[in-house]
Amino acid sequence: MSDIISWGERLQAHLAGIDRDAFFANPLVQDAVSKCVEAIGEAAGKLDDINPELDRTVPDLNLKLARRIRDRLSHGYYRIDLVLL
């Protein structure tokens, strides 16, 4: 869980002061955001492996969704939809 929080804080810092237009115009920020989301998804997947019931008991975590997003970013990088990211 601490990895999810840490990468989430990094993600928040990368996006501080960045509006939608600035995000779409800046590949460096896009890459940083993508990496943070990927790391969050990896940590979420590991957490889900350790405690599969957690996703059901705390549905706001969306561990399985975070893992799927990570898989998509890791294995389909050429098709990243920046609007969804």
Nearest Cα to Cα of residue 41 among 83, 85, 81: 85
Backbone angles phi, psi at 76, to 5 degrees: -135, 40
**Quick one: pLDDT at residue 16?**
97
Model confidence, pTM: 0.84
CA 61 to chain centre: 12
As given in the structure block, the two tokens for residue 26 are: 């800046």
| Max CA pair span of the chain | 40
Mean pLDDT by 10 residues, the chain (85 residues): 95 96 95 93 93 88 88 75 70
**Quick one: pLDDT at residue 61?**
85
Q: How many structural domains is the chain composed of? A: 1
**Quick one: pLDDT at residue 13?**
97
In a domain, 85, yes or no: no
Nearest Cα to Cα of residue 65 among 36, 44, 85: 44
Range of the domain at 69: 2-79
**Quick one: pLDDT at residue 45?**
92
**Quick one: pLDDT at residue 56?**
87
Neighbours of 84 (CB within 10 A): 7
In a domain, 84, yes or no: no
